[in-house]
């Protein structure tokens, strides 16, 4: 009986192990059946096709008035879709109709554009720098009138006239300051472009340079005003901020900076100064002798 029980236990163990093995195999096969390999083909992106053309650039810095020659120029590849307006495709094209002169500064490796050059067989004249309809006038300056030499081509300035308004017949009421102050200042033209400083026209010049003249670009009316102002008084420049800034009109006098106040203060001092005391003569007689005394009269 005992041997039969042991046999049954052995058979049950073998059957259980077989069942476990079969269940494991079934679970694994079912899991693998649910998993599918997904293969995704990613197409290779085609590189954008860029078409290049040649363009003429400068080998070295070019400045105003310099004539162009082949040794100063090079041809390099440049994307066709980003060619700057006025560029030249070859040196032969640039010099085909004659030699050209530089009107605006060009840096090394910068494209040489038509807008920065004169016409064929042209000259580097100041008229090439003027905007259509504008005029150029020159103002005599020194270190003070020229803002210490910090005015450079391309800057915007105001032209200020300083004169003695009392020296002419038409003297405004504002010019009649206290104590005879008739020195006035006023803006002749404002926010005008500086074309040249001295004889140079390099807009890339950044270091201070003291020159005896500055040439500015003005309208026809502005040119007349500056010409008249030169013969009325002294002219100086007022450098404007790069954004143009704001404008102030009118005439400024010495009185506006304290001339009348100073005169009023002087009058006040004179009024406040103590006056000489009032004195009376008193005669005192002692016996036969009379003595005279000066005494201060009482103040009412």
Please give the DSSP secondary-structure letter assigned to residue 30: H
- Higher pLDDT among residues 203 and 101, named by residue: 101
Domain assignment present for residue 186? The answer is yes
Host domain of residue 190: 133-202+209-255
Domain assignment present for residue 247? The answer is yes
- DSSP lists the bridge partners of residue 252 as 185
Give the pLDDT band of residue 296 (cuts 50, 70, 90): low
Q: Max alpha carbon distance in the chain (Å)?
A: 187
Domain assignment present for residue 74? The answer is yes
How buried is 297 (Cβ within 10 angstroms: 0-12 exposed, 13-18 middle, 19+ buried)? exposed
- pLDDT, one tens digit per residue, over 171-190 is 445 444 444 467 888 889 99
Q: Does 82 share its domain with 141?
A: no
Q: Does 85 share its domain with 111?
A: yes
Cα 241 → chain centroid:
6
Q: Does 194 share its domain with 108?
A: no
- pLDDT, one tens digit per residue, over 66-118 is 888 889 999 999 998 888 999 999 999 998 888 888 888 888 999 999 888 88
Residue range 137-166: mean pLDDT, rounded? 79
Query: CA of 56: how far to CAs of 108, 115, 185, in Å?
Result: 11, 14, 51
Q: Does 244 share its domain with 164?
A: yes
Domain assignment present for residue 147? The answer is yes
Domain assignment present for residue 156? The answer is yes
Q: Does 222 share its domain with 163?
A: yes
The predicted model scores a pTM of 0.50
- Higher pLDDT among residues 31 and 109, named by residue: 109
Domain assignment present for residue 220? The answer is yes
pLDDT for res 213: 83
Decide: helix, strand or coil at residue 148.
helix
Q: Does 146 share its domain with 221?
A: yes
Residue 54 has pLDDT above 90, yes or no: yes
Q: Does 144 share its domain with 181?
A: yes
Asked if 127 contacts 217 with a C-beta cutoff of 8 angstroms, the reply is: no
Mean pLDDT of the chain: 74
Decide: helix, strand or coil at residue 72.
helix
Domain assignment present for residue 261? The answer is no
pLDDT for res 177: 46
- Higher pLDDT among residues 253 and 156, named by residue: 156
Cα 60 → chain centroid:
26
In 3D space, the residue among 213, 244, 246, 248 whose CA is nearest the CA of residue 230 turns out to be 213
Question: Domains in the chain: how many in total?
Answer: 2
Residue 106's CATH number: 3.90.1210
Domain assignment present for residue 87? The answer is yes
Give the pLDDT band of residue 150 (cuts 50, 70, 90): confident
pLDDT for res 55: 94
């Amino acid at each position: 009986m005992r041997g039969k029980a042991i046999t049954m236990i052995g058979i049950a163990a073998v059957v259980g192990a077989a069942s476990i093995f079969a269940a494991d195999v079934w679970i694994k096969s079912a899991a693998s059946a649910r998993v599918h390999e997904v293969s995704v083909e990613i197409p290779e992106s085609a590189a954008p096709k860029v078409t290049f053309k040649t363009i003429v650039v400068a080998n070295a810095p070019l400045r105003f008035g310099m004539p162009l020659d082949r040794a100063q120029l090079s041809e390099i590849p440049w994307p066709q879709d980003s060619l700057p307006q006025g560029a030249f495709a070859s040196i032969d094209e640039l010099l085909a109709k004659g030699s050209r002169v530089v009107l605006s500064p060009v840096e090394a490796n910068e494209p040489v554009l038509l807008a920065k050059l004169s016409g064929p067989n042209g000259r580097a004249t100041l008229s090439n720098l003027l905007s259509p309809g504008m005029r150029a006038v020159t103002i005599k300056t020194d270190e003070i009138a020229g803002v210490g030499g910090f005015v450079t081509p391309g800057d915007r300035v105001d032209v200020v006239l300083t004169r003695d308004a009392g020296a002419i017949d038409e003297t405004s009421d504002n010019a009649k300051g206290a104590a005879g102050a008739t020195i006035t200042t006023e803006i002749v033209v404002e926010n005008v472009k500086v074309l040249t400083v001295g004889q140079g026209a390099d807009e890339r010049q950044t270091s201070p340079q003291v020159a005896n003249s500055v040439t500015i670009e003005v309208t026809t009316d502005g040119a007349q005003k500056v010409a008249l102002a030169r013969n009325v008084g002294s002219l100086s420049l007022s450098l404007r901020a790069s954004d143009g800034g704001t404008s102030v009109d009118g005439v400024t006098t010495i009185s506006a900076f304290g001339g009348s106040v100073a005169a009023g203060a002087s009058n006040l001092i004179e009024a406040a100064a103590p006056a000489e005391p009032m004195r009376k003569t008193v005669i005192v007689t002692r016996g036969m002798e009379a003595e005279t005394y000066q005494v201060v009269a009482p103040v009412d």
